[in-house]
Chains A and B, each alone.
Chain A
């Protein structure tokens, strides 16, 4: 059994929270006391049934306003898979929350209201999915119950979305007609849409293989911590602790340490009380090297035959996440895996109107703005392009005046 992390894009009006509530409810993931709290709540659907959307609205302000402000994480599992849902708000003023939720997801569910079809919001959400490099998309055409479960309606939305998907370079897109409110095609295939021959949403989520498109072969491990017990029996012990971002390190592999450029060979790989032959993407391990090289937190161990890019000038997409606008005259901190260094945004190349996807020249960047910039860093970063290796192609910006995380960066090119 493995884990599928997905995020849901849509707004309250599209029935997003109802969809998630429905997935939880129909997989028996709601427990008796939670259900009791739900039934005691004053919010009900028009027909008197319980409002499943309440399950995901966690904060008091959200319950009062009936909207989702922040990212909420929800968990459920079936016999086949464990699921982590990032439930994010859909309105444009919460774009940064959506970017946050999407950053850790392998799959996106884009909700389209069958009554309205592909609208501005659909374009915006799909753009964010493409920006964040999510390879698998499910377009859930919701509220089919309000359109007489019409195949024609579904097909016309599907055709329209296909053009958008092509434009945005979304590779694996799947279309499912659903009614979250009535439960059609969520867990069970709906008898009311016998024209639909595909899988139910849950069945699809259980089966989809998210490993096939995302595996970078580039072996990378940022060093988080150097383990040196300095006891009598272990006085020469020196292990580099970190999580393998991508690729595989095998025993005797030739490696390079960046930024120093020192080379060595993998001598030993440890995981607690085990000694391993290889360390794979996702594993948190300790690596020992044959040679005594100077390594500390912030350095990256990489496969010597597939080096990352290394520059101080990087072209990147930036999503601005703070109420205080970007100031190109001041220094920020950039955190890339375990490395933090100073940086400046030296140039704004363009801003994207995320409703129309048009690019405009710009000289300011405000909350929720997205566009292309040039980042100039104090120390060189050892990175890969985001599209090649998401884990080593992303970074955050920190405002050292407030310590807040103010920007998300996706690296697109080195600037020579």
Chain B
């Protein structure tokens, strides 16, 4: 028998590829939810490893809040043209224009909550029966309990008390009409695993992940990018700082961290030493101790 070195990143990668192929095998109309963040970029690489030289058996779906970082959209479009796969865009602006959701007002207004409606509408319109997402169990305590195949009812709701047992590496994708499954192939990865994988695979990322100069204001103790999407008033003082983003969501809810890390090695070093967890930079989790659990029950990613 030949010797082979199968380290933890190889094992995580092989597990994720297995899960992606189970999605292909078990569902009629799957989709890959692509946010432009590092986790969904990692999913795209894993899908290439699962299905090349064939095409992906699913399109990419981006729920566009209209408040994205410009760099993310640019990255998305370049990537889609490079890999030659189909992209479907669900627009939160369109949901607002159609009166399906109402834009929040006030100082902490964000489109983060609104995107759930757009996501559910997009799923319905295209009849998606499985949506692959980049969520990880290390992000948050409610996520720590979610299955890799997580069934949602026709209202998109997650019921933590009625989760199916998930044994060995056998994934039950059987659903009733109208239900869909959210699938999380990188459930067992940590933030550091994702970064180490991106480094090993030499995967390009949107530039906002790396340190750059940016006009910022301080909101609720967090550093936010000054942008037209943030409701600012006279109390907000704009300062130019060297920052980077640890997660990529809306401009109105994703906080920056001050950083000099402009290379991936520096970022990995910074995360290894960091004392603030990744979702700590998300205002959307700050509402209450059960914030994520509540949003997931409502159909959030």
* Bound Cα distance A93, B274 (Å): 40
Q: Contact check: which of B7, B22, B57, B190 meets A1 at CB < 8 Å? A: B7
* Bound Cα distance A74, B138 (Å): 7
**Would A59 and B145 be within 8 Å (CB), given that A73-B137, A73-B187, A241-B50 are in contact?**
yes
**Besides the contacts A225-B50, A400-B174, what 10 more A-B pairs have beta carbons closer than 8 Å?**
A1-B8, A3-B11, A70-B163, A72-B145, A224-B18, A241-B50, A272-B52, A282-B10, A284-B14, A408-B167
Interface window among A95-103, A146-154, A180-188: A95-103
Q: Is residue B64 contacting chain A, with contact meaning CB distance below 8 A?
A: no
Q: How far is the CB of B238 from chain A (nearest CB, A)?
A: 25
**Would A403 and B25 be within 8 Å (CB), given that A73-B188, A75-B190, A84-B188 are in contact?**
no
Q: Is residue B287 contacting chain A, with contact meaning CB distance below 8 A?
A: no
Q: Which residues of B contact A284 (CB under 8 A)?
A: 13-15, 17-18, 21, 49-50
* Bound Cα distance A63, B18 (Å): 34
Q: Are B21 and A224 in contact (CB under 8 A)?
A: yes
11 A-B residue pairings within 8 Å (CB atoms): A58-B293, A72-B144, A75-B137, A99-B165, A241-B21, A242-B21, A243-B18, A278-B2, A280-B4, A335-B172, A403-B174
A-B CB proximity, top 7 nearest: A58-B141, A33-B280, A284-B17, A32-B275, A31-B277, A224-B21, A403-B174
Interface residues of chain A, those whose CB is within 8 Å of chain B, are: 1-3, 31-34, 37, 41, 55-61, 63, 69-75, 77, 82, 84, 96-97, 99-100, 103-104, 224-225, 227-229, 234, 237, 241-243, 248, 250, 271-272, 277-278, 280, 282-284, 297, 321, 333, 335-338, 390-391, 394-396, 398, 400, 403-405, 408
Q: Which residues of A contact B142 (CB under 8 A)?
A: 58-59
**In the complex, residue of chain B having the shortest beta-carbon distance to the beta carbon of A70:** B145
**In the complex, residue of chain B having the shortest beta-carbon distance to the beta carbon of A402:** B176
Q: Main SS of chain A's interface residues?
A: mixed
Q: Is residue B99 contacting chain A, with contact meaning CB distance below 8 A?
A: no
Q: Are B167 and A99 in contact (CB under 8 A)?
A: yes
* Bound Cα distance A408, B175 (Å): 19
Q: Contact check: which of A31, A58, A224 meets B276 at CB < 8 Å? A: A31
Q: Are B145 and A71 in contact (CB under 8 A)?
A: yes
Q: Are A97 and B8 in contact (CB under 8 A)?
A: no
Q: Which residues of A contact B187 (CB under 8 A)?
A: 73
Measured as residues with beta carbon below 8 angstroms from the partner, the interface class of chain B is 35 or more
Q: Are A283 and B168 in contact (CB under 8 A)?
A: no
Q: Contact check: which of B10, B21, B188 meets A75 at CB < 8 Å? A: B188
Q: How far is the CB of B226 from chain A (nearest CB, A)?
A: 24
Q: How far is the CB of A59 from chain B (nearest CB, A)?
A: 5
Question: Which chain B residues numbered 81 to 132 have a C-beta less than 8 Å away from chain A?
Answer: none
What string of 1s and 0s marks CB contacts (under 8 Å) between B1-45 and chain A?
110101110111111011001101100000000000000000000
Q: Are B174 and A394 in contact (CB under 8 A)?
A: no
Q: How far is the CB of A359 from chain B (nearest CB, A)?
A: 23
Q: Are A225 and B276 in contact (CB under 8 A)?
A: no
Q: Are A61 and B161 in contact (CB under 8 A)?
A: yes
Q: Are B170 and A396 in contact (CB under 8 A)?
A: yes
**Would A243 and B8 be within 8 Å (CB), given that A33-B280, A37-B289 are in contact?**
no
**In the complex, residue of chain B having the shortest beta-carbon distance to the beta carbon of A278:** B2
* Bound Cα distance A384, B48 (Å): 32
* Bound Cα distance A237, B57 (Å): 17
* Bound Cα distance A69, B293 (Å): 15
**In the complex, residue of chain B having the shortest beta-carbon distance to the beta carbon of A271:** B49
* Bound Cα distance A241, B280 (Å): 39
Q: Are B7 and A227 in contact (CB under 8 A)?
A: no
Q: Are B275 and A395 in contact (CB under 8 A)?
A: no
Q: How far is the CB of B102 from chain A (nearest CB, A)?
A: 27
Q: Contact check: which of B2, B165, B174 meets A408 at CB < 8 Å? A: B165
Q: Is residue B166 contacting chain A, with contact meaning CB distance below 8 A?
A: yes
Q: Which residues of B contact A321 (CB under 8 A)?
A: 165
Q: Is residue B169 contacting chain A, with contact meaning CB distance below 8 A?
A: yes
Q: Is residue B219 contacting chain A, with contact meaning CB distance below 8 A?
A: no
Q: Are B277 and A34 in contact (CB under 8 A)?
A: yes
Q: Is residue B290 contacting chain A, with contact meaning CB distance below 8 A?
A: yes
Q: Are B53 and A229 in contact (CB under 8 A)?
A: yes
* Bound Cα distance A99, B170 (Å): 14
Q: Contact check: which of A96, A283, A336 meets B165 at CB < 8 Å? A: A96
Q: Which residues of A contact B192 (CB under 8 A)?
A: 77
Q: Which residues of A contact B54 (CB under 8 A)?
A: 227-229
Q: Are B167 and A394 in contact (CB under 8 A)?
A: yes
* Bound Cα distance A37, B140 (Å): 12
Q: Is residue B155 contacting chain A, with contact meaning CB distance below 8 A?
A: no
